[in-house]
A and B are shown apart, each in its own frame.
Chain A
Amino acid sequence: MSTAAPERSALGARRAVYLIARREFATRIRSKVFSIGTIVAVALIALYAVLQLAVIDRINTTTTFKVGFSGSVTALAQPFEAAAPSLGFKVKVSDVASEAQGRSEVRKGSLDALIVGTPGAPEAVVETGLDPTLQAALVSLAKQEVLSTDLSAAGLSPATVEGQIAAVSLHVDTLHAPTAGQLQGPIIGFVMAFALYLFIGIYGNVISQGVVAEKSSRVVEILLSTVRPGQLLLGKVVGIGLVGLLQLGIIAVCGLLFTVPTGVLALPDAAIGAVAIGVMWFVLGFILYALMLAATASLVSRVEEVSSATVPVTMLLVVTWLLAYVVAIPAIDAVTGGGALSPGLETLTTVFSLIPPFTPVLMSIRMAAGEVPLWEGLLSILLVLASIAGMTWLGARIYANSILRFGARIRLTDALRRTS
């Protein structure tokens, strides 16, 4: 062409990985997996929070009592109404002009109770019986009234005495302090582990499908004429991983926003800690599984063959989840009072959670439950990092050897041996 040569420069490795990751990110974020998946997950969490709130409401509040006051006892109406919430019930108080009118309202059912008499000696008129809580509240108010009257008569200020009484407290010396979030920790850990399992599964599948889609559309031949296989693989893992992380982040933040302020989760610290642990294990677990999935997926040329090619890896993930189930349920039981973990199970859990493919999911449960010694946590992270390094080498080798061999499924041993 006669036009001046456009600006260009040699493509550095970092920019190659960036460009590939950017394309993956931009493409996947517009996909239905992302938008619909996020909306559905957030909606489910919102629904859960709403349901929980409804249940809490149902437990905490009974029906509102309609209580009428008539005569001098009306002086108790205000303190009675003020005391009601702290005693766990709701009242609607009203002044009733005369006792006769009040009695007829009780009979009609427009009042649950009519209180007559004096503040020191109230009488309750009810249809069938008086709720014990209401009765206790009224008695307590009446006693206080009598006490105040007597104190005034003895020349003491009721306010001063009440202040002194209020200042009395019981100091509790706890010999064995419970850990914050003892119960919620394992539950949040369990939820987080399930999210990890789900996300590694879903986004791992996006990786393996993407690898084979590039192979089946043959675009990979053009790509590999300008970038190295390792760069392509890394770019895919980073780009798709970031989309997964973003979705996980949106869901986790929405989860915290819905549950913490509404009181569904009582311990935001434990939840935030578990989310932080979960994010770390998602990153490490995703990279490890993505490399294994990409390597196995690159052995086939058609999208229909992906799931059969990646079976060894997906089975590993399913086994992880089964182990998580075995670990998590007793851990929750142990905290709720079902007794400590049996020594055998505890050893089993510890051993499996240190085997890299199982580590991310199992450790996220154990760490959220707060039972992992520091050295074990660090060792598990180191082991996973080491296996990521190993898989980067091995996976990139399998991928590079297979990605341009179209046609029949390639045997893993061939993919490892040949250097094309």
Chain B
Amino acid sequence: MADRILEIDRVSKRYGNVAALQELSFEVRAGELFGFVGPNGAGKTTTMRIVLGVLAADAGEVRWGGTPITFATRQRIGYMPEERGLYPSMGVSEQLVYLAELHGMRARPARAAAAGWLERLGLADRGGEQLQKLSQGNQQRVQLAAALLFSPDVLILDEPFSGLDPVAVDVMSAVLREQADAGISVLFSSHQLELVEQLCDRVGIIRGGRMLAAGSVGELRTGSAPRYWVDAPGAASGWARQVPGATVVRVEGPRTLVELPAADGDQALLQAALATGPVREFRRDIPTLSELFRSVITEEPAA
């Protein structure tokens, strides 16, 4: 499996005077769910289009299994573009089979795969209908089936969760997890950071065409300064400043959020709190991906 790795290596792309991507590098390993997060216009869609060969990069290289990606290997990538699109007046099964054939499948297995995925996604009885007769959510499921049914080696999904109802979100999450567990490299972008945090093995935070941080959520956390919630009802305001290096992030009634330069300062902080009277709560604050995202995005000046 070590050779089945998708590498984006110092890829750059300009649109006129706008640098959409600046030497962007990251990798998606086999069996890994990689979450791609970043504000609008950060370059997520551009990156995905370059991987799919729909756009050409100005510089840099995309490799699959160690060799530069070619037209033939691109056909092994399942793609769900941000702007969803299939043939509105074509039958659901018919166009799934067509798209599978365009990815090199023969007609018979393509039909079997289409039937299997429609069954799996709860659309077994809708295969004969025109796509436009289906609800938005169901069209989205067909779109997912289109990306999956030819058993791709890599899945690239641009905002797969946008516009889904909670049930469909669960179905989509389960399918993505299952695909990754089957050894497929999955790259997807999303603005739903809680979902990305739950689902992804690794996360990349992109802004202004640069990768600001990439790694597991745990790894991203280690990069940030530790914070503690302290509930000391008897403390006078400004008590925490006595601790060397400590900064007060926020005060909510009796509770204070304190940031320390290093995790080994926690005992000094607790002692300082106890010195003010009773301590009801002393807890390490584990930042969510949203918080990490905000801190990373605001720390880095815009390109």
Partners in one complex: yes
The complex places the Cα of A188 from the Cα of B87 at a distance, in Å, of 41
User: Would A8 and B106 be within 8 Å (CB), given that A222-B146, A226-B74 are in contact?
Assistant: yes
Give chain B residues whose Cβ lies under 8 Å from the Cβ of A223.
102
Q: Which residues of B contact A419 (CB under 8 A)?
A: 56
Q: Within A287-311, which residues are at the interface with B (CB < 8 Å)?
A: none
Give the Cβ gap from A365 to chain B, nearest Cβ, in Å: 38
Rounded to whole angstroms, the CA-CA distance of A218 and B182 in the bound complex is 30
A23 at the interface (CB under 8 A from B): yes
Q: Does any Cβ of B come within 8 Å of A220's Cβ? A: yes
B20-28, B109-117, B225-233: which lies at the A interface? B109-117
Judged by a CB distance under 8 angstroms, whether B241 is at the interface is: no
Report yes or no: B104 in contact with A11, Cβ–Cβ below 8 A: yes
New A-B contacts (11) at CB < 8 Å, excluding given A5-B151, A10-B72, A19-B102: A6-B150, A8-B105, A8-B106, A9-B104, A10-B104, A222-B79, A222-B99, A224-B53, A224-B54, A226-B75, A406-B83
Give the shortest distance, in Å, between A136 (CB) and chain B (any CB): 70
- B85, B109, B113: the one within 8 Å of A222 (CB): B85
Instruction: Say if the beta carbon of B88 comes within 8 Å of chain A.
Output: yes
Give the chain A neighbours of B146 by CB distance below 8 A: 222
- Nearest-neighbour CB distance to chain B for A94, whole angstroms, equals 69
Residues A219 and B87 in contact, CB atoms below 8 Å apart: yes
A217 engages B102 (CB within 8 Å) = no
B-binding residues in A (CB < 8 A): 1-3, 5-11, 16, 19-20, 23, 27, 214, 217-228, 404, 406, 419-420
B residues 230-245 touching A (CB-CB < 8 Å): none
Cβ–Cβ < 8 Å partners of B54 in chain A: 221, 224-225, 404
Q: In the assembled complex, how far is the CB of residue B214 from the closest CB belonging to chain A, in whole angstroms? A: 24
Highest count of chain B CB atoms <10 Å: which of A8, A20, A27: A8
User: B71 contacts A228, CB within 8 Å?
Assistant: yes
Tell whether A225 pairs with B77 under 8 Å between CB atoms, given A6-B112, A19-B102: yes
Closest Cβ of chain B to A27, distance in Å, is 7
Q: Are B83 and A218 in contact (CB under 8 A)?
A: yes
Known contacts A6-B113, A218-B81, A220-B85: A225-B105 contact under CB 8 Å = no
Closest Cβ of chain B to A145, distance in Å, is: 79
Cβ of B258 under 8 Å from chain A = no
Tell me which of A3, A23, A218 contacts B98 (CB under 8 A): A23
The 3 A-B pairs with the shortest beta carbon distances in the complex, nearest first, are A218-B85, A6-B109, A219-B85
Q: Which of A217, A218, A225 has the most CB of B within 10 A?
A: A225
Residues in B neighbouring A228, C-beta threshold 8 A = 71
CB distance from B67 to the nearest CB of A (A): 15
- Bound CA span A227–B75, Å: 8
Contact of A8 (CB < 8 Å), options: B84, B85, B103, B116? B103
List, in ascending order, chain A residues with CB within 8 A of B178's CB: 1
Is there contact, CB below 8 Å, between A225 and B79? yes
Q: Which residues of A contact B86 (CB under 8 A)?
A: 217, 219, 222
Evaluate whether A8 and B150 lie within 8 angstroms (CB atoms) in the complex, with A217-B87, A218-B83, A222-B86 already known: yes
On chain B, the residues within 8 Å of A1 by CB distance are 151, 178, 182
Determine the distance from Cα of A224 to Cα of B112 in the docked complex, in whole angstroms: 24
Do B109 and A8 touch across chains, with their CB atoms under 8 A apart? yes
In the complex, number of A-B residue pairs with CB atoms less than 8 Å apart: 87
User: From residue 59 to 97 of chain B, which have CB atoms closer than 8 A to chain A?
Assistant: 71-72, 74-75, 77, 79, 81, 83-88, 90
Given contacts A6-B110, A226-B102, contact A27 B90 (CB under 8 A): yes
Contact between A7 and B87, CB atoms less than 8 A apart: no
Q: What A residues does B263 contact at CB under 8 A?
A: none
Chain A CB within 8 A of B101 CB: yes
The 8 A CB mask of B196-228 against A (1 = contact, 0 = none) is 000000000000000000000000000000000
Considering the complex, give the chain A residue whose CB is closest to the CB of B78: A225
* Chain A residues within an 8 Å CB radius of B98: 19, 23
- On chain A, the residues within 8 Å of B110 by CB distance are 6
- Inside 8 A of A5's CB, which chain B residues have their CB? 151
Q: Which residue of A lies closest to B81 (CB)?
A: A221
**Structural contact, B71 and A6, CB atoms closer than 8 A:** no
- CB of B52 within 8 A of chain A? yes
User: Given that A11-B102, A19-B101, A221-B81 are known contacts, is A404 also in contact with B55, CB under 8 Å in the complex?
Assistant: yes
Identify which of A11, A19, A420 gathers the most chain B CB atoms within 10 Å of its CB: A11
A406 to B82, CA, bound (A): 13
Secondary structure of the A contact surface, majority rule = loop
Chain B minimum-CB-distance residue to A224: B54
Q: Which residues of B contact A16 (CB under 8 A)?
A: 102
Cα–Cα, bound, A221→B74 (Å): 13
A222 touching B81, Cβ below 8 Å: yes
- Mind listing 23 A-B residue pairs with CB under 8 Å? A2-B182, A7-B109, A8-B109, A8-B150, A9-B104, A10-B72, A16-B102, A19-B98, A19-B101, A19-B102, A214-B87, A217-B86, A219-B85, A219-B86, A219-B87, A221-B79, A222-B81, A225-B74, A226-B99, A227-B102, A404-B49, A420-B55, A420-B56
Docked CA distance A220–B54 (Å): 10
Closest-by-CB residue of B relative to A403 is B54
Given contact pairs A10-B104, A23-B98, A420-B55, A218 touches B109 in the complex (Cβ within 8 A): no
Which residues of the other chain, B, contact A8 by a CB distance below 8 angstroms? 103-106, 109, 150-151
Kindly identify, within residues 251 to 300 of chain B, every residue whose CB is under 8 Å from any CB belonging to chain A.
Answer: none
Bound complex: CA A218 to CA B49 (Å): 13
Min CB–CB distance A378 → chain B (angstroms): 38
Chain A residues, CB < 8 A from B53: 224-225
- The smallest C-beta distance from A221 to any residue of chain B, in angstroms, reads 4
- B53 closest partner in A (C-beta): A225
Complex Cα gap A219–B74 (Å): 17
Q: Which residues of A contact B151 (CB under 8 A)?
A: 1, 5-6, 8
A220's nearest neighbour on chain B, judged by CB, is B85
Rounded to whole angstroms, the CA-CA distance of A372 and B106 in the bound complex is 49
Q: Are A225 and B72 interface neighbours, CB within 8 A?
A: no
Distance between Cα atoms of A221 and B53 in the complex (Å): 10
Query: A400 → chain B, closest Cβ, in Å?
Result: 10
Cβ contacts under 8 Å, B101 to chain A: 19
CA distance A420 to B101 in the complex (A): 26
- Minimum CB–CB distance from B197 to chain A (whole Å) comes to 26
- Which residues in B have their C-beta under 8 angstroms from that of A227? 102
Q: Which residues from 177 to 203 on chain B have a C-beta closer than 8 Å to any C-beta of chain A?
A: 178, 182
Contact A218 B150 (CB under 8 A): no
Distance between Cα atoms of A224 and B103 in the complex (Å): 11
**Shortest beta-carbon distance, B263 to chain A, in Å?**
43
